[in-house]
């Protein structure tokens, strides 16, 4: 990268890009870690709060939803509010959300408090994640963006990947924090991210600079309402499938249909507004839309296995949270190794080749998961998961970089918001959908309760079979997303040569 000292913020003052970049990367990593950190803790939460799988999974689905519905607002906030103030506010809100979740009393009636803390943290991360990409796009030129966004991709990809392993280690150990011994409680999961975020909150007024040009833009409240309520109802319907079934009109069908209607009105309104809340006209550019949709398939394929695997390992294999987390560690390490390499390869081999190879690896690595049994060796699962994550790392940020390269820098705030909104909402939907489907199949195939007293061994065997049926369907859906993504990648085009030459 070029000299990091001779760059000016929007006020004409020099600043160091590296210090700004490091602050954003570390703080955003701590925030994104919260997305999947509860993956290995779900069985523990189910026991502590006396809830079932679909209810416990709300800790993730509602985090992803709040994350997703906030991202469109980031385009407005980044344009309207100082970059420094926006970061300080986001870090402060994240600290409040994490703290509230960690201090929630462990009983059934307090679950709503736990979710409120998760939503507050998600709102902050929903601002931080696209803001990181917008800042990168404004700090680095075209030639440098692939590498810079590759580092951002390392955070976005590795945070969710390492979350289950870190949580598993925490849940299986006693820890000493500031001289105080803390037992292996689920609350400890939030300690390290909270410390990082508090440090970022203190440093951000001094390190962060105003690098995104600001202008006075009026907030379209109706658009905000339509997006939040529309996405919320849409996800609520999928979340209710686990307990209500697919045919329940009031709890499933009505929320989904109402959500679709509100989102359709939202889209129509954005096309008519002179200054849209979220400029969805960026999707008229083919070279932005196809990579973005392909990224969505990659994300859905990744979460399709990642969010269900820890529960499978603990409930079916009987692994401890630590051991189930260690099973996923290889995938997290693969993300860390391959993501920066993918940024370098982007300029050398082109995004299309990377995407096709990456999605092929994701699909091949996912296929064996559809045949998992209660006796599948965990070392086989470890290898397969690592293979999948290598494919994800080769694909995710190169496709995002290609999408951003298709549009001028002045549209970066809306393009980044649109790209991240689509990805986050789709992942929140897929987590809710797969959890609902898995729970629904388990409930449908579960043996009669009377069998438990009459023949406990047979009851246990049939319960295990029902669980495996549910998990295999979830993994099969993950495979389907990877295959669809591969087909879409066939239509991705490499960055035009003349644009590449301008970056040299």
Helix then strand count (H, E) for the chain reads 20, 4
> Pick from 205, 202, 198: which is nearest to 99 by CA?
198
CA angle (75, 81, 87) in 5-degree steps: 85
Statement: residue 175 has pLDDT above 70: no
Statement: residue 490 has pLDDT above 90: yes
Question: Could you tell me the two tokens for 133?
Answer: 């990409």
Cα–Cα distances in angstroms (integers) from residue 164 to residues 41, 171, 305, 332, in the given order: 8, 10, 12, 9
Alpha carbon 412 to its chain centroid, in Å, reads 20
Q: pLDDT at position 233, please?
A: 85
Mean pLDDT, residues 405-419 taken together: 77
Question: Could you tell me the two tokens for 70?
Answer: 């906030």
Question: Could you tell me the two tokens for 123?
Answer: 């709102």
Q: Is the pTM of this model over 0.85?
A: no
Q: Which of the four pLDDT bands, split at 50, 70 and 90, describes residue 3?
A: very low
Q: pLDDT at position 499, please?
A: 45
Q: Can you name the residues that pair with 176 across neighbouring β-strands?
A: 181
Statement: residue 161 has pLDDT above 70: no
Q: Can you name the residues that pair with 182 across neighbouring β-strands?
A: 175
Question: Could you tell me the two tokens for 154?
Answer: 């390392």
Cα–Cα distances in angstroms (integers) from residue 402 to residues 45, 82, 141, 282, 405, in the given order: 40, 28, 14, 14, 5
Number of neighbours of residue 226 by Cβ within 10 angstroms:
22
Q: pLDDT at position 397, please?
A: 81
Cα–Cα distances in angstroms (integers) from residue 45 to residues 40, 104, 108, 187, in the given order: 10, 12, 10, 10
**Spans of all domains in the chain:** 7-219+277-502, 220-276
Q: Which of the four pLDDT bands, split at 50, 70 and 90, describes residue 158?
A: low
Statement: residue 411 has pLDDT above 60: yes
What's the pLDDT tens digit per position in 352-367? 999 999 999 999 999 9
Judge whether 354 and 187 are in contact, CB under 8 Å. no
Alpha carbon 396 to its chain centroid, in Å, reads 12
Q: Which CATH number fits domain 7-219+277-502: 3.20.20.70, 1.10.10.10, 3.90.320.10, 1.20.1250.20?
A: 1.20.1250.20
472 Cβ partners below 8 Å, 6+ apart?
370, 371, 372
Statement: residue 497 has pLDDT above 60: no
What's the pLDDT tens digit per position in 243-282? 677 788 888 899 999 999 999 999 999 888 887 887 888 8
């Amino acid at each position: 990268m070029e000299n990091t000292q001779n760059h000016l913020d929007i006020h004409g003052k020099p600043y160091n890009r590296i210090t700004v970049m490091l602050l954003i990367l570390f703080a955003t990593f701590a925030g994104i870690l919260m997305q999947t950190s509860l993956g290995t803790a779900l069985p523990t939460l189910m026991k502590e709060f006396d809830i079932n799988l679909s209810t416990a999974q709300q800790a993730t689905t509602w985090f992803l939803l709040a994350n997703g519905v906030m991202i469109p607002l980031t385009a407005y906030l980044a344009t309207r509010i100082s970059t420094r103030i926006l970061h300080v506010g986001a870090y402060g809100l994240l600290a409040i959300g994490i703290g509230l979740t960690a201090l929630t009393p462990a009983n059934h009636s307090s679950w709503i408090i736990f979710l409120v803390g998760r939503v507050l943290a998600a709102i902050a991360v929903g601002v931080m994640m696209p803001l990181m990409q917008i800042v990168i796009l404004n700090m680095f030129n075209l030639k440098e963006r692939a590498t810079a966004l590759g580092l951002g991709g390392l955070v976005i990809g590795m945070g969710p990947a390492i979350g289950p392993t870190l949580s598993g280690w925490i849940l299986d150990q006693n820890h000493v924090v500031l001289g105080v011994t803390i037992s292996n409680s689920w609350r400890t999961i939030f300690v390290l991210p909270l410390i990082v975020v508090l440090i970022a909150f203190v440093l951000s007024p001094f390190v962060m600079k105003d690098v995104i040009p600001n202008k006075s833009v009026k907030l379209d409240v109706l658009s905000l309402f339509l997006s939040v309520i529309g996405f919320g109802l849409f996800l609520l319907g999928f979340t209710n499938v686990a307990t209500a079934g697919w045919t329940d009109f009031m709890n499933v069908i009505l929320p989904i249909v109402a959500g679709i209607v509100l989102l359709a009105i939202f889209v129509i309104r954005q096309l008519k507004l002179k200054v849209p809340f979220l400029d969805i006209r960026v999707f008229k550019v083919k070279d932005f839309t196809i990579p973005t949709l392909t990224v969505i398939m990659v994300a859905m394929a990744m979460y399709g296995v990642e969010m269900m695997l820890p529960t499978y390992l603990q409930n079916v294999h009987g692994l401890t949270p630590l051991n189930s987390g260690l099973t996923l560690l290889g995938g997290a390490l693969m993300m860390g190794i391959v993501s920066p390499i993918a940024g370098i390869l982007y300029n050398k081999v082109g995004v299309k080749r990377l995407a096709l190879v990456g999605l092929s690896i994701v699909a091949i690595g996912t296929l064996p998961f559809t045949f998992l049994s209660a006796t599948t060796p965990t070392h086989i699962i470890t290898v397969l998961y690592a293979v999948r994550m290598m494919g994800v790392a080769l694909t995710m940020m190169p496709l995002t970089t290609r999408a951003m390269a298709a549009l001028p820098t002045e549209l970066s705030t809306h393009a980044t918001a649109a790209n991240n909104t689509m990805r986050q909402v789709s992942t929140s939907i897929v987590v809710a959908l797969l959890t609902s489907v898995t729970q629904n199949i388990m409930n449908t195939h579960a043996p009669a309760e009377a069998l438990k007293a009459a023949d406990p061994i047979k009851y246990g065997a049939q319960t295990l079979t029902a669980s495996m049926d549910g998990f295999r369907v979830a993994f099969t859906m993950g495979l389907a997303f990877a295959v669809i993504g591969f087909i879409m990648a066939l239509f991705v085009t490499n960055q035009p040569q003349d644009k590449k030459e301008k970056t040299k």
